[in-house]
Amino acid sequence: MSSVRCESESSFFGNKTGAALRASFASKAQKENNHNSQPQASYKVAVLGAAGGIGQPLSLLIKMSPLVSNLHLYDIANVKGVAADISHCNTPSQVRDFTGASELPNCLKDVNVVVIPAGVPRKPGMTRDDLFNINAGIVRDLVSAVADYCPDAFVQIISNPVNSTVPIAAEVLKQKGVYDPKKLFGVTTLDVVRANTFVAQRKNLKLIDVDVPVVGGHAGITILPLLSKTRPSASFTDEEIDELTVRIQNAGTEVVEAKAGTGSATLSMAYAAARFVESSLRALDGDGDVYECSFVESNLTDLPFFASRVKLGRTGVEALIPSDLQGLTDYEQKALEALKPELKASIEKGIAFAQKQTVAA
């Protein structure tokens, strides 16, 4: 993954996406100053669950992208005000609001990227899997509409439990005959963002330089930061490895407990998802050097879905990056084997749910 070594570039997305975004803004501003404004924005993005804790700040951050021409905000309630508010920002995209299932088709028509943070969040004491009963059906129905109205879009699932909701989405898309495994993503960027932050703090490194691949899935021990693959290379004591790994795995719970019943991570999640959306848009726009970690259909292990670094391109996942899984330390290798049964069970639970349900029209 490319990193940009410039102090001032660490303020936005903390990776190459930040630098690209800033450059794009600068170039647009220059063109406007020259009274020669060539609109660059050309991609349509829909946020489903846009009035929620993640949806609102995520929509705001996407509104800041010079690559977005149309931003469609959908929710079952309270989205009109969110859209009115965000639409006043003087950035290129046109914002529209859509409320309820009857407006979902228009929301999705011709959209390039659909981001789904719809669903309930955890309260203290709950696991992500405890959200399955509510969120599985929400994701199934939303993805069913995606299959009908924008089957070529990149579909990015934030709703938990990601380890099950992504397989549900895959099954729904298969049932509708439009499944393209390269275009379905579980958003695990927050795990990478957290790993980068905690490692930089612990090792006193410049944040912009740090890149830690996080593989596996997105729940508890299925979240596996590969500290041995940290770039720039850093050495860790056994104690540091254990502390950092456990902290990264429990970071979501850390936020759930701090919020004391009012929800889970929303702001850091919005930041992480906005980075993933921006990276996807850059890939769609032809940038040939875009890498992110994501939970995708995979043959890197014996599991059908697995989070790893992937190369993004115009058609979605252009390549999985197997090298991160080569030469693992004993600690990482054991953790990888230990996560597989839980991840497998979560994937199978999602597939079984989708296969026994009738997909909503």
Ligand X SMILES: O=C(O)C[C@H](O)C(=O)O
Ligand Y SMILES: NC(=O)c1ccc[n+]([C@@H]2O[C@H](COP(=O)([O-])OP(=O)(O)OC[C@H]3O[C@@H](n4cnc5c(N)ncnc54)[C@H](O)[C@@H]3O)[C@@H](O)[C@H]2O)c1
| Residues annotated as part of the active site | 218
Please tell me whether residue 192 binds ligand X under the rule CB under 6 A: no
Degrees, nearest 5: CA angle 144-149-153:
90
**What minimum distance in Å lies between the beta carbon of 84 and ligand Y?**
16
Using CA atoms of 191, 194, 197, 201 in order, give the dihedral in degrees to the nearest 10: -120
Longest dimension (CA), the chain: 60
Please tell me whether residue 51 binds ligand Y under the rule CB under 6 A: yes
Q: Which is nearer to ligand X, 111 or 162 (CB)?
A: 162
Which of ligand Y, ligand X, none does 51 bind, CB closer than 5 to 8 A by kind? ligand Y
Pair 297, 305: CB distance under 8 Å: yes
**What minimum distance in Å lies between the beta carbon of 129 and ligand X?**
10
Q: What is the footprint of ligand X within residues 309-328 (CB under 6 A)?
A: none
Please tell me whether residue 294 binds ligand Y under the rule CB under 6 A: no
Q: Which is nearer to ligand Y, 113 or 162 (CB)?
A: 162
Nearest CA to 112 among 77, 162, 65, 164?
Answer: 65
Please tell me whether residue 18 binds ligand Y under the rule CB under 6 A: no
Please tell me whether residue 255 binds ligand X under the rule CB under 6 A: yes
Within a 10 A sphere around the Cβ of 330, how many other Cβ atoms? Answer: 7
Please tell me whether residue 263 binds ligand Y under the rule CB under 6 A: yes
Which of ligand X, ligand Y, none does 298 bind, CB closer than 5 to 8 A by kind? none
Stretch that binds ligand Y, among 51-59, 144-152, 231-239, 300-308 (CB under 6 A): 51-59
Please tell me whether residue 195 binds ligand X under the rule CB under 6 A: no
Stretch that binds ligand Y, among 15-23, 33-41, 44-52, 194-202 (CB under 6 A): 44-52
Q: Is 261 left (phi over 0), alpha (psi -120 to 50) or beta?
A: left
**Whole-angstrom Cα distance, residue 105 to residue 103?**
6
Q: Which is nearer to ligand Y, 114 or 320 (CB)?
A: 114
Q: Scanning the structure block, which residue is given the tokens 């540091």? A: 240
**Whole-angstrom Cα distance, residue 322 to residue 76?**
40
Q: Count of alpha carbons within 13 Å of 249, Cβ hemisphere only?
A: 20
**What minimum distance in Å lies between the beta carbon of 223 and ligand X?**
8
- Which residues, 6+ apart, have CB-to-CB distance to 311 below 8 Å? 290, 291, 317, 318, 319, 321
Q: Within the chain, where are the H helices?
A: 16-33, 55-63, 79-87, 104-108, 132-149, 162-175, 189-203, 238-259, 267-284, 330-356
Please tell me whether residue 77 binds ligand Y under the rule CB under 6 A: yes
Q: Kindly write out the interface string for residues 140-179 of this chain, putting x where it contacts ligand X by CB under 6 A and - elsewhere.
A: --------------------x-------------------
Which of ligand X, ligand Y, none does 255 bind, CB closer than 5 to 8 A by kind? ligand X
Q: Within 157-237, where are the H helices?
A: 162-175, 189-203
**What minimum distance in Å lies between the beta carbon of 122 and ligand Y?**
6
Please tell me whether residue 196 binds ligand Y under the rule CB under 6 A: no
Please tell me whether residue 265 binds ligand Y under the rule CB under 6 A: yes
Comparing every residue's Cβ against ligand Y, the nearest one is 52
DSSP class per residue in 110-145: T-SEEEE--SPPP-TT--GGGGHHHHHHHHHHHHHH
**Binding-site ranges for ligand X (CB under 6 A):** 121-122, 128, 160, 190, 252-253, 255-256, 264-265
Numbered residues of the known binding site for NAD(+): 49-55, 75, 135, 158-160, 269
Numbered residues of the known binding site: 49-55, 75, 122, 128, 135, 158-160, 194, 269
